[in-house]
Amino acid sequence: MICPKCQCKCLILPYQCLYDADERLKDICIEDKPQLLNMVNSFILIGTEKDNGLLKNDCFHELCRSIKEAQQSANEENSDQENVIPYEASLANDQGKPAEFWDYLPSKWTALLRDMHFQNMYAAYLMYYHYTLQSISISSKDGEVKSVRNRSANNSRSTENIDLKEAKYLASVQLNIAKSFTAIFKREFLEKRKGEYCNEPDECSCGKRECPDCSGLKIEPNRGRPKAGAL
């Protein structure tokens, strides 16, 4: 789960989880595109000033820190098991199975990462950013250029990048899919765990726009028009 290429240095979801959620991620070699992982982490999980992230900054970095600490503990466990005889190792560690970061990850983060709606959402946004950035052209010293892959012994078809219009269409469709997965994840996971993931519990549920606990708006005092007095 350590990701030396991405900025936070931890892989939020194992690649196999991403492949299971969307097999296209294997075809585009997502392991070699850390910039897409960074975009989902930054824009979707952490959030911007305009759009609130699902976890926000502090909670995201707590997740990342927990992943790295769990992976380190698993590595240390596996290193210790190398010097233990097979029978004792099988008793100590689930029939000799190597320790995984899942074994040491706090339960709140295990629940989040194993949630299928979270995995579907994360994979969908990866594909969305792929369509918006990667499928049109390749950056080079000459600028943005179209790439062409010629036929070979292993591939009987020649391929080239799609045009801008088609890329925009695919990105639009993929964004709608990603937003749908996000809505399901919020409803079925985050809203049922208020206060666990830096999402504050609701203090009031009256639903009125003028209620500051529900809308966050400050109630302005009602000021009537001044009445004209007789001179």
| pLDDT single digits (tens) 126-152 | 999 998 886 555 544 444 455 555 555
Domain enclosing residue 23, as ranges: 15-60+105-138+160-197
Q: Are 219 and 210 in contact (CB under 8 A)?
A: yes
Task: Determine the pLDDT at residue 216.
Answer: 44
The answer to whether position 193 is within a domain reads yes
The answer to whether position 112 is within a domain reads yes
The answer to whether position 151 is within a domain reads no
* Cα–Cα distance list, 229 to 54, 188, 226 (Å): 56, 60, 9
The answer to whether position 31 is within a domain reads yes
What would the pLDDT profile of 66-101 be if each residue is shown by its tens digit?
999 998 998 888 887 654 544 444 444 555 578 888
The answer to whether position 95 is within a domain reads no
**Which residue has 């994840």 as its token pair?**
185
Of 121 and 6, the structure prediction assigns the larger pLDDT to 121
**How far is it, in rounded angstroms, from Cα 138 to Cα 38?**
19
Task: Determine the pLDDT at residue 219.
Answer: 45
The answer to whether position 117 is within a domain reads yes
Q: Are 128 and 174 in contact (CB under 8 A)?
A: yes
* Cα–Cα distance list, 32 to 103, 109, 193 (Å): 27, 25, 34
The helix/strand/coil state of 202 is coil
Angle at 216 between CA 209 and CA 196, to 5 degrees: 115
The answer to whether position 25 is within a domain reads yes
Q: How confident is the model at residue 122 (pLDDT cuts 50, 70, 90)?
A: very high
The answer to whether position 96 is within a domain reads no
Name the domain count of the chain.
Answer: 1
Of 231 and 59, the structure prediction assigns the larger pLDDT to 59
Task: Determine the pLDDT at residue 142.
Answer: 46
Task: Determine the pLDDT at residue 225.
Answer: 59
